[in-house]
Amino acid sequence: MSMIRTKIVATMGPAVASVEALLALFRQGVDVCRLNFSHGSLGEHLLMLRKIREAAAMHDQPVAILGDLCGPKIRLGKIKPVGDTGGMPIAIGDELVLQRAAIEGADGVVSSIFPQMIDDVQIGHRVLIEDGLLRFLCVDKNYNRLVLQCTDGGILKSSKGINLPDTDVQTPAITDKDWRDADWAIDNDLDYLALSFVRHADDINLLRQHLVNKVSDIHIVAKIEKPEAVKAIAGIIEATDGLMVARGDLGVEMDVAEVPIIQKDLVRRCQAAGKPVIVATQMLNSMITDSSPTRAEVSDVANAIFDGTDAVMLSGETSVGKFPVVTVRTMAHIAKVTEAYLDTMPPRGEPTLALKTLPVSAAMARGVWQVVNDMKLKLVVVWSQTGSTARLFSKNRMSVPILALSSDHRALRRMALHYGVIPQEMPPPTTTVDLITWVDGFVRAKQMAAPGDRIVIVSGLSMSTPGTMNNFVIHTVGEDWTEHVTPSQSLPQPATPTGPTHLHDTPVHQ
């Protein structure tokens, strides 16, 4: 069982399109599988989903699935490859015609999936492709086409993204394709939906209402990749369930030098709000083709962990890369070494979560954080039926793993995204002895703690009822609780004072 606290999100694709490859990814540290709806058909995603679930059933920890909606992303249409280049080569000074009518791009003429962009782009506007790797300037236009001059060349490839930093493009927040993909995600019980190109909280609320209407409990992750979103970030964080720092488009739409500052600010804001955050894009990008990362990429992953991110994400590295398993192993190793260093540092200042809801839960988590640091405990164990308690404990950046117990499969999968949380299914216990005995046996079997180690177990009046987490127990692994508690004693009743220490009596939401 992995004890790395940072979570790894891996994008699915042809490079990992077998059950064996997926299981290898999970065993190296992948916690969340990302289905990118910008590529592939729903039929292809369904085949991948079935393989993910087959591999996850053979893994010893829950795996979450995140569906990434395209949003109003403008992309190139299909392009006919030239030779073995994988696309259409274009050099500085070359002219490229981008026409309204859909075609298979060839001989310097291409199209996009959003023909209305022809109306919005004006002469003198920049047109950036594939996160700005290829750059063009509009030098002429008419109703049917734009004439672009290349200022930075490369290989134009099918479906690559187009950014228009000088153009006010009139696109909907959620496209017709997004609605179809969202319904597919609901029908297939995905755990998270990422909404691309969020501009303000209303975009999140629109998708939320759709999920409510469909009686779906899928959680929403807002992707921050536009200047408008950065300006409206307070409302977005309040409306969403989590954030993704999508640095690719963000670095194209804004001054790239601002991206590291924005990343740190967003991670800090999510920490205070008790919401999970993913840092994404080009983290180990060179490993798409190379078996080892650059020194700068290693520093990038480590710095995201220093910042306090819940998860780091791989995109092309796992979807189409040559070394997907090696890449995940590398990322997990960076996380392990970085976390080991953080564990040698004095504890950060007392965590402060500025929550409008669940303030008592936050107080309980803060109290456990203090006890863990003062008593050098080995593990935190918490019953979190819906995942909310585990999420708040996670945001306190415990120096030890958090074993989160629930009988709800969906909640367990969602918890796979939270920093430091190890989700584990367990039927609701009925007595204090049942809970502690089960935990004691489990943590020893999984080598999460050894006899003599002390752990903290958060329990309450009713494991199946939110709002009843009202005490925690300091337990020495291997100790027999039947000496202190009678077998008939119910969970609401604390152990006698002669038993292991009980602390705190404040009700906590789950």
Residues designated catalytic: 34, 75, 223, 281
Q: Whole-angstrom Cα distance, residue 318 to residue 34?
A: 10
DSSP secondary structure, 213-260, as one string: HTT--PEEEEEE-SHHHHHTHHHHHHH-SEEEEEHHHHHHHS-GGGHH
The set of residues, in sequence order, having a beta carbon less than 8 Å from that of 460 and lying 6+ positions away, is 383, 468, 469, 470, 471, 491, 507, 508
Give a three-class secondary structure readout of 311-350: EEEECHHHHCCCCHHHHHHHHHHHHHHHHHHHHHCCCCCC
Do 433 and 482 meet the contact criterion of CB atoms below 8 Å apart?
yes
Distance between CA atoms of residues 329 and 325, nearest Å: 6
What are φ and ψ of residue 283, in 5° steps? -65, -45
Please state whether beta strands 161-163 and 192-195 pair in parallel, antiparallel, or not at all (unpaired): unpaired
125 exposed, middle or buried (CB, 10 Å; 0-12, 13-18, 19+)?
A: middle
Contact 207, 173 (CB under 8 A): no
Give the whole-angstrom CA distance, residue 51 versus residue 17: 8
Q: Which of 18, 14, 9, 374 is nearest to 194 (CA)?
A: 9
Nearest to 79 by CA among 88, 66, 70, 89: 88
The sign of the torsion formed by the CA atoms of 421, 427, 431, 435 equals negative
First to last CA, the chain: 25
Could you tell me the two tokens for 447? 């080598």
How far is the C-alpha of 248 from the C-alpha of 130, rounded, in Å? 9
